Amino acid sequence: MSARSVRRKVAVVGTGSIVSGSHLPALRAHAERVELVAAVDVDQGRLDAFRELAGAEVAGYTSMGAMLDAVRPGLVLIGTPPSLHKEQTVAALKTGAWVLCEKPLTLSLAEYDEIAAAEEASGAYASVVFQHRYGSGAVHAHELIASGELGAPRVAHCQTTWHRDEAYYTVPWRGTWASEGGGPTMGHGIHQYDLLLHLLGPWTEIRAMAARLVHDTESEDVSTALVRFENGALATVVNSVLSPDEVSRIRIDCADATVELTHLYGHRNEDWVYTPAPHVASERAAAWRTPAADAPSSHTAQLGVLLDAYDNGVRPPGSGPDARATLEFAAALYKSAFTGQPVHAGEIAPGDPYYPAMHGDHPHWAPKERA
């Protein structure tokens, strides 16, 4: 039997809306490759409701440790609050299971490096859910930029301008450093700037600001950044939960074309637009059109790529140094915002206050000014 024909045993940890609404459909879409055998949730009622949805053959557990001992899954999908991600990911890796965990994978670079050590010890891998990298439109854009077909990247804009009201923050783990790791920089905009980093490659310098303008939370409700990339491109990044007109957008101006993605929580081919520079021949620009096959960005798309890596025994995208670079970007944004100084890639290391915590022991916010 080939590796591709093996159905991997899968367990989910957490049975809330992200697991039932995104991970479960992804598992069903890849039913010939995976078998959901167990679910874990500390809330028995929520667990029972999920099992009714997923099927009676899915075993239920209120303890992750008990599930790992009994089931020994090959793949664990984690959809719990962020403060639990590191501990649960390490526990799964120690049993030899691969992991696909919701963002952020950890609340700090220090925690991320603990996961890296657990990967090395186990030989298994942990990926973070960055589904916007996947889907046919994103794959096509990445290929065009990486190949140089659009010319050298020069200017970029990354925008996550969403709206969250006071009711959103009544969920206890939201808006605190200890449980969420930060505000929209960690919990909302991270999807969009991860895609930006995926398209443009390594960043070298960041200068940022962050503020609490509306919500009475520990963490910010808006952040902005100016970013220099290794290839010389300059970018702006905005992460907001204060924006009534919600949109997610990336625009990259290259020497020969502008590529734009405008959507909200997921994209299809039609959301990508290529505008050629005046000197570009129409025949060349016609080749940039997105593929005929339209695979939307989704958990389904990312799970397929992860399973391909599993079958081939190689590190999956969205794990290791690849995913760490996105978390380092968040830490650098916070450090620059709170210190008022530019931050360079690689400078946040053990001994730096922003290595064990995104807030870097930043003691107080400036007094909020209200109209």
Q: CA-to-CA distance for 187 and 116, rounded, in angstroms?
A: 22
CB atoms within 10 A of CB 345: 17
What pLDDT sits at residue 368? Answer: 39
Q: CA-to-CA distance for 175 and 105, rounded, in angstroms?
A: 17
Three-class SS of residue 273? strand
Write out the two tokens for 314: 């190689």
Q: CA-to-CA distance for 212 and 220, rounded, in angstroms?
A: 5
Query: What CATH architecture applies to the domain 3-129+300-314?
Result: 3-Layer(aba) Sandwich (3.40)
Tens digits of residue pLDDT in 198-256: 999 999 999 999 999 999 999 999 999 999 999 999 999 999 999 999 999 999 999 99
Q: Which CATH class is domain 132-298+326-344?
A: alpha beta
Q: What is the 3-state secondary structure (H, E, C) of 147-186?
A: HCCCCCEEEEEEEEEEECCHHHHHCCCCCCHHHHCCCHHH
Three-class SS of residue 350? coil
105, 71, 133: which is closest to 261 by C-alpha?
Answer: 133
Residue-range domain boundaries for the chain = 3-129+300-314, 132-298+326-344
Q: Which residue shows structure tokens 């001992």?
A: 69
Question: Is there a common fold for 3-129+300-314 and 132-298+326-344?
Answer: no
Q: How far apart are the first and last CA of the chain?
A: 68
Q: Is-contact 256 244, C-beta < 8 A? A: no
Instruction: Give the predicted TM-score (pTM) of the model.
Output: 0.95
Q: Which residue shows structure tokens 């503020």?
A: 211
Q: Is-contact 92 226, C-beta < 8 A? A: no
CB atoms within 10 A of CB 329: 23
* pLDDT under 50: residue ranges of the chain: 1-2, 366-371
CA–CA distances in Å: residue 293 to residues 27, 63, 137, 163, 361: 21, 42, 9, 32, 48
